[in-house]
Amino acid sequence: MKKGKSKEARTVETVKKNGRPYANGSEKSITKRARMTEEDVAKLKYCCEKLGKTESDIIRLGIEAIYQKATG
């Protein structure tokens, strides 16, 4: 008889972990970069603190506001 682990003990089952669901069912997989002045960054941080939102949220809100103005 062989010593060691049985075949069942050596088999590792891979299970995909469920993460946090995407907001509104939309996956955000594209990353953009922007060059900003220190003043722009300060304004962004102020808006984040004042509204309790992330930098990405504030940028998306700004894009939406400009888009509405351009198409409205």
The pLDDT tens digits for 33-56 are: 999 999 999 999 999 999 999 999
Alpha-carbon gap, residue 21 to 27, rounded angstroms: 9
* Segments making up each domain of the chain, as ranges: 36-72
What does the pLDDT read at residue 7?
58
Structure-block tokens of residue 61: 């809100």
Q: For a pLDDT cut of 90, what percent of the chain falls above it?
A: 58
pTM, full prediction: 0.64
Alpha-carbon gap, residue 45 to 36, rounded angstroms: 12
Above 90 in pLDDT, residue 64? yes
Q: What are 47-51's contacts with CB under 8 Å, separation 24+?
A: none
Structure-block tokens of residue 27: 């996956």
CB-facing half-sphere around the CA of 10: CA atoms within 13 A: 4
